Amino acid sequence: MAMTGTEEPAPTQALFLEEWQVYRKMVDNDYLFHRDAYDCLHRYLRDEVTGPFRFLEAACGDAGMSSQALLGTKVSSYHGIDISKQALEIAERNLARLPCPVVLEEGDFVSGLRNWRHPADVVWIGLSLHHLLAPAKAETLRDIRRIVGANGRLLIYEDASPDGESREEWLARWDAQEPDWPAYSHREWTMVNDHVHSSDFPETDSTWHALGKSAGFAHVKTLFVSPTDLLRLYLFQA
């Protein structure tokens, strides 16, 4: 893993580093309102989950924001899944500050959650469920409902539209943000934008609520709406 100054990174490592730097720039400049969203998660976990809880994070990435959100809560264990080995190596360092056992798994979160056999009280997904189409989202929400049991909760921060908006209209509002991302070069913006246009599938507010209810969650609540109204943080409670 360690590189000397004379070695070129291997192609996959180079791609990860470039994509990672672009993603970190987005988080560091708060273009997707990570600070507000993770602060909302922190306040919810601190104030509403009063006993010890087992936390499962799907698509945890480097867990930089989630590890911060978990500090000062009663988290009793942390389990993270991500497909990127390199991201998990960074996550391991970020999660070392938690006062509880930490387990990280490399793999696909969709199949991982389908076959999950460890109990969890709170499941968290940040900006990753929107890559699935609605039927696959529904299936994953059902898998999570099974995992969290009678008193469990799922929180997500995801692409969301006001009712009545199409994916094309959501993408047009997304595109209009470019002038508000001045830290990005045009190349970096294009990298992100190509990914969003090919892989992001927002749901309307009503659809997110319906998906939660049909997965067996009794209550669905919106806890945060990004100032751009492109992203929302939902609580699904059993």
Ligand X SMILES: C[S@@+](CC[C@H](N)C(=O)[O-])C[C@H]1O[C@@H](n2cnc3c(N)ncnc32)[C@H](O)[C@@H]1O
Footprint on this chain of ligand X (rule: CB under 6 A): 59-61, 65, 81-84, 87, 108-110, 126-128
Residue nearest to ligand X (CB): 126
Q: Which is nearer to ligand X, 130 or 209 (CB)?
A: 130
User: From residue 20, how far is each of 69, 70, 75, 206 by CA, in Å?
Assistant: 21, 23, 28, 33
Residue with smaller CB distance to ligand X, 27 or 210: 27
Least separation in angstroms between residue 38's CB and ligand X is 8
| CB closer to ligand X out of 126 and 212 | 126
* Encoded amino acid at 179, one letter: P
Nearest Cα to 122, choosing from 88, 102, 148, 156?
148
Q: How far is the CB of 2 from ligand X (least distance, A)?
A: 22
With respect to ligand X, which residue has the nearer C-beta, 181 or 213? 181
Write down the least CB distance from residue 99 to ligand X, Å: 22
CA distance 225 to 194: 24
CB of 32 to ligand X, least distance (A): 8
Q: Which amino acid is at 162?
A: P
Reference 94, options 22, 48, 53, 38; nearest CA is 38
